[in-house]
Amino acid sequence: MFRFWEKYSVSNVRVTSGCQLSCGFCDLWKKEPEISELSRLITTGTYYDVYPRTRWVNLYGGDPFMYDDLRFILSFYQSEGVKVRLWTNGVVSLNAVAEVADVVAEVQVYIPSVCEEDYGLVTGHGSIQEVRDAIRMFKSEKVAIGIHCPVSDSNIGDLPDIHDFAYDLEVPLVFHRGKVSLLNKEQKRLLSRYRRVKGVGVRVDDSLNNHSCKALPTINTHFLACLWDDLVFRCRNQNLI
């Protein structure tokens, strides 16, 4: 009973607009990063003057790994009994993963492509191998983890590879498409088949997030929490995780 209500107690906290990547469709990396005052609020005991008291926090950016005091704020949440769902592009070093693995409840990784060449072209830096290694390490540290992929006309042909990527890593996968989508009927039917046959979550996003990572799904926290539980349930049924 408690767990059911717990997932509806969620707040969204953007820690920084800074990012280690420079995706072609994003402006954030071109600007001076906006950095939140989270660590100051925590140190001065004024966090709850600004943010609500919730059971869960969606922590996002830019990329939260660009925030210098990430471990400090994650430790704060843990000491308060708050679970953190951390949204990242996954281009993080294994040292960075090791530093936060014991203080984060859940990690959600968004990826635009799993093709080595395409990945670098889209994101400007990093490699899909780094993302794969980071996911493996989070898994080995027993951190719950999921993969999210925005789907558009330009990457619809990559869905089999993206599915294989997640399947090989034994990680739940969610495809996202915009409400006003350029996908044709056949492409939408293809997405539905992934949901029905392969247990992939399919999410229709309302709109893009302003001032945050453009690859990040719209964070409607209630919906995402339900989707996530449902997805994990279906993946377990199919022995994927």
Please state at what angle helix 128-140 crosses helix 116-123, rounded to 10 degrees.
100
**Binding letters toward ligand SF4, positions 162-201, x by CB under 6 A:** ----------------------------------------
Q: Which of 10, 15, 19, 191 binds ligand SF4 (CB under 6 A)?
A: 19
Q: Which of 213, 224, 231, 235 binds ligand SF4 (CB under 6 A)?
A: 213
Tell me whether residue 34 or residue 141 sits nearer to ligand SF4 (CB atom): 34
> In sequence order, what are the residues at sequence separation of 6 or more whose Cβ sits closer than 8 angstroms to the Cβ of residue 76?
42, 47
The DSSP bridge pattern shows strands 56-60 and 201-205 to be unpaired
Does residue 107 interact with ligand SF4 by CB under 6 A?
no
Q: Which of 15, 73, 145, 215 binds ligand SF4 (CB under 6 A)?
A: 215
Q: Which of 10, 13, 15, 26 binds ligand SF4 (CB under 6 A)?
A: 26
Tell me whether residue 22 or residue 93 sits nearer to ligand SF4 (CB atom): 22
CA distance 15 to 44: 17
The DSSP bridge pattern shows strands 144-150 and 56-60 to be unpaired
Encoding tokens for residue 235? 């993946």
Stretch that binds ligand SF4, among 20-28, 174-182, 218-226, 233-241 (CB under 6 A): 20-28
Site residues for ligand SF4, window 108-147 (CB under 6 A)?
Answer: 123
CB atoms closer than 10 angstroms to residue 210: 6
CB atoms closer than 10 angstroms to residue 180: 9
Encoding tokens for residue 54? 């919730």
Stretch that binds ligand SF4, among 21-29, 153-161, 165-173, 187-195 (CB under 6 A): 21-29
CB atoms closer than 10 angstroms to residue 49: 8
Q: Which helix (H) or strand (E) is 204 found in, with range?
A: strand 201-205
Tell me whether residue 62 or residue 217 sits nearer to ligand SF4 (CB atom): 62
Encoding tokens for residue 94? 């294994």
Stretch that binds ligand SF4, among 4-12, 93-101, 174-182, 213-221 (CB under 6 A): 213-221
| b/e map 5-16, b = 16+ CB within 10 Å | eebebbebbbbb
Shortest Cβ 149–ligand SF4 spacing (Å): 13
The DSSP bridge pattern shows strands 83-88 and 56-60 to be parallel
Q: Which of 54, 89, 113, 187 binds ligand SF4 (CB under 6 A)?
A: 89
Q: Which of 15, 42, 58, 62 binds ligand SF4 (CB under 6 A)?
A: 62
Contact footprint for ligand SF4 (CB under 6 A): 19, 21-23, 26, 28-29, 62-63, 89, 123, 213-215
